[in-house]
Structure 1
């Protein structure tokens, strides 16, 4: 038996007409996809891989969260952009965070931190992700609107943050961390980057 929220989430796929073209225009050429049932059962979302040759960046974007009953208005999908060689790590971060949202039936808000006790990526200090607008792509990537200009979808970009940066955010806030990243010219797409805190 489906709830009203689930029926509302499933309906209205027409609202996302042109989404694939919009994502491709900003994130680059699609290079592959992972279906929702890759592990056997249907996890409620798939993953699509894009490559932007101009910047040598790979972006992994969830597809299907917008139809899940997560309570998000507008609907949401997740993205993570890294250098091409690190695409598997981006896949892992989007998959892990999407799975958490589906399991907990919740959604993200701008500048939300999703912390983790252990490093999210082996051999790194990244203990969480920051839900953000995209640092490089234009606002149209983050906020997808229908032909009438009504916002139908937000694509939150997951920016990996270190344990030190998580603690810095707790003490000083997200804006202060962004200022530190800017001051030290941090390349947020490089998973080999040092921590600024």
Structure 2
């Protein structure tokens, strides 16, 4: 038996008319998709890969979190943008974070850190992600509105952060880390980047 909140979450797909076109306008051409049951059981969301050839970037975006009863208002999806050859790592980060949200029936807030005890990607220092607006795409990518201008969806971009950067955030806050990234001209789309803290 479904709850009222679950019925509301599952209904209302009409609120997202034009979403696919909006994502393409910013993230580029869709090149591949992974269905919700790609790894066996239905995990409640799929993954879509977009390529922005001009910048050699791939963005992996979840598709279906917005229909899950996570309690988010407006609804949410997740994205991660990396250089094309690192697309599998972006897929992993979006999948891992989305799985946590679905299992815990929770949602993200702006500038939230999702830490992990072990490195999220083998051979890296990335121990978490920062839920953010997109560093390069226009705000309309992050905040999707219906024809009446009512915000229906937030697309949180996951920015990988190192263990040192996680500790830096705990001591100084997210804004201070962003200032460090700007100071050292950190390329947040490069998963081979050094830590600034």
Aligned to 1:174: 174
Q: Matches of residues 91-170 of structure 1 in structure 2 within 5 Å?
A: 91-170=91-170
CA-based RMSD:
0.3
Aligned to 2:187: 187
Aligned to 1:48: 48
Taking the aligned partners of 1:109 and 1:38, their CA distance within structure 2 comes to 28
Taking the aligned partners of 1:4 and 1:192, their CA distance within structure 2 comes to 45
> Aligned pair count?
197
Taking the aligned partners of 1:170 and 1:145, their CA distance within structure 2 comes to 33
Deviation at 1:168, TM superposition (A): 0.1
Taking the aligned partners of 1:27 and 1:187, their CA distance within structure 2 comes to 17
**Per-residue deviation, residues 90-141 of structure 1 (Å, max 9, x unmatched):** 0000000000000000000000000000000000000000000000000000
- Indicate yes or no: 2:84 matched with 1:84: yes
3-state SS, counterpart of residue 155 of structure 2:
strand
Deviation at 1:184, TM superposition (A): 0.2
Q: Please, which runs of 5 or more residues in structure 1 have no aligned partner?
A: none
Deviation at 1:4, TM superposition (A): 1.0
Aligned to 1:5: 5
3-state SS, counterpart of residue 144 of structure 1:
strand
Structure 1 segments of 4+ aligned residues over 3 angstroms from their partners: none
Taking the aligned partners of 2:160 and 2:20, their CA distance within structure 1 comes to 25
**Per-residue deviation, residues 66-93 of structure 1 (Å, max 9, x unmatched):** 0000000000000000000000000000
Normalising by structure 2, what TM-score? Answer: 1.00
Taking the aligned partners of 1:159 and 1:177, their CA distance within structure 2 comes to 12
Q: Matches of residues 18-57 of structure 1 in structure 2 within 5 Å?
A: 18-57=18-57
**Per-residue deviation, residues 30-50 of structure 1 (Å, max 9, x unmatched):** 000000001111000000000
3-state SS, counterpart of residue 55 of structure 2:
coil
Deviation at 1:54, TM superposition (A): 1.0
Aligned to 1:72: 72
Aligned to 1:60: 60
